[in-house]
Structure 1
Amino acid sequence: MNYPPRHHGLPPRRPNIGISPDWTGVGPENPFARYELKVTYAEAVLRAGGLPFVLPYTDDLTCVEAYLDRVSGVLITGGAFDIPPEAYGETVREGMGPLKEGRTAFETALMRAALKRNMPVLGVCGGMQLLNVVLGGTLYQDIGREVPEAREHEQKHDRTQPQHPVEVKDSTLLAEAVGKGQLMVNSTHHQAVNKLGAQVVASATSPDGVVEAIESSAHVFAVGVQWHPEYMLNNLPVHGGIYKVFIHKARDYRR
């Protein structure tokens, strides 16, 4: 018997995702400044169905807009530096870490422009903190000094392993991605969200009350997580849901 040919649908389109890299200046070990990106960010985007593109820094807003013309979502990564407190109307207090003003200026411009377009934005660790600041919120400059009842949020062990639980709130985009209730996360930060920005909700908190995830009710997808889900994709695959929902929203952005 002759069977009719089987037609399989094409795989979903991979949306372009712009990723902000870290930056290292000239020093004894590197004669030239360089951009750096942890492989895990790009792998998480690829595994979730996106196409990652690194976006070099620029202070030219026309270049920022040109970047956004070519991508469908923006991923703001973390790093070992702090956001200048002037960005949220405060002065430096004891406990502040190093700054990377050029990186923060670029990521701020990129995030503001993406949010203006209602383009999906995911902020990870420092990227979550920047999202809150851009939306009008403030930060604790050092958890240990300003939140004395807080537990340790800078784990010393393998970052692919969890440090503490968070409680994911129901009826949030985060709950859509990973489910509501308790979720084990890693923890690598010494700053945290203090005052929430305008129309920003805390979608997850740790048992000590520290805000661990936020999202904007004014945008289709503006989500920040304080932990690094991309480090935990193999040990706790549920974290991949964060990137999957992000990529899904990015795909919908340019249907």
Structure 2
Amino acid sequence: MTRPVVGIISNSHLINDEYPAHAGGTMNSEAVSMVSGAIPLLIPADPRLMSIEELLDICDGFLLTGGRPNVHPEEYGEAATEAHGAFDRARDAITLPLVRACVARGQPVMGVCRGFQEVNVAMGGTLHPEIRDLPGRMNHRMPPDGTLEEKFELRHSVRFTRGGVFHRLMGAEEVVTNTLHGQGIKTPGARIVIDGTADDGTPEAIYVRDAPGFTLSVQWHPEWNAANDPVSRVLFTAFGKALADWRACGASSQLKSA
């Protein structure tokens, strides 16, 4: 049996500030291939180029990656301000309906950083534009200077709900992660379960209640050093198992019911 295929949602990018491209971090593809055991397939985040139905047929699951642009606040009923930063409406138009379709079908989907926020917004939640401006919150943003190793170093702990999904998966009630985000969950969407938080109360781990498939998503970046970091490896391994299960059973069930 061939390996499952994971659609990795790309980000809009300009090469040399003028040539438009669809970009994806190498570490995302490496984590999917080397830890999840799947074939990474970079998906252009542009609804003009494909439909959600086509993506669901081609891919066994999806990784919603991080990205510099943020989900547009109109997607959760708020007006855009300077604090909301840059946007990528084409990516919004792909990821938000894709999340809802995956949840309904039981098709595996994992959100990372912006992807974590997309899962929340897709289910009706809202976002804070800038976490560090909230009373009592730490600065979760990526350090502006230093090497990649320094930017992705483990910086804070995440505590999971005792006996919850992440606690059982990790085999630990508390882990240490990196942190490279400005925005965060304000109100959780319908069926969104906040299963892990940072020391300052910022939501860091979620899943969709009663979803028939894998929906675990995290605010940190587990793709960094995924093969060696024990927290990242466990998460991508679980994602890989869900992908293999879908390829073996879930996809055929969808075809029979169609």
Normalized against structure 2, the TM-score is what?
0.86
Task: Tell me the residue number matched to 1:202.
Answer: 194
Map 1:222-237 onto structure 2 (within 5 A).
222-233=215-226, 236-237=229-230
Shift of 1:171: 3.5
For the pair 1:130 / 2:118, whether they are aligned, the reply is yes
Whole-angstrom CA distance in 1 between matches of 2:54 and 2:210: 24
Q: CA deviation at 1:72?
A: 1.1
**Is it true that 1:84 corresponds to 2:72 in the alignment?**
yes
Give the Å deviation of 1:103. 1.7
Aligned to 2:231: 238
User: How many Å separate the matches in 1 of 2:87 and 2:95?
Assistant: 13
Structure 2 partner of 1:99:
87
Partner of 1:122: helix, strand, or coil? strand
Partner residue, 1:72: 60
Contact 1:129/1:192 (<8 A) preserved? yes
Match of 2:151 in 1: 159
Instruction: Return the letter of the residue paired with 2:220.
Output: W
Q: Which aligned pairs between 1:140-151 and structure 2 lie closer than 5 A? A: 140-145=128-133, 147-151=134-138
How far residue 187 of structure 1 moved from its aligned partner, in angstroms, is 0.5
Measure, in 2, the Cα distance between the counterparts of 1:61 and 1:46: 25
Structure 1, 245-254 or 128-137: larger mean CA deviation: 245-254
Q: Which moved more, 1:102-111 or 1:187-196?
A: 102-111
Percent identity of paired positions between Structure 1 and Structure 2:
32
Report how far residue 235 of structure 1 moved.
5.4
Confirm or deny: 8 A CA contact 1:40 1:231 kept in the other structure: yes
Structure 1 position 45, deviation (Å)? 0.6
8 Å CA contact 1:140, 1:191 repeated in 2: yes
Q: Which one has the largest radius of gyration?
A: 1
State the Cα RMSD in Å: 2.0
AA matched with 2:221: H
Q: Which runs of 5+ in 2 are unaligned?
A: 249-258
**1:18 maps to which residue?**
7
TM-score normalized by structure 1?
0.87
Distance in 2 (alpha carbons) for counterparts of 1:171 and 1:246: 20
Letter matched to residue 149 of structure 1: G
1:117 to 105, 109, 131: 105
Letter paired with 2:219: Q
**1:42 paired to 2:29:** yes
How far apart, in 1, do the equivalents of 2:50 and 2:139 lie? Answer: 42
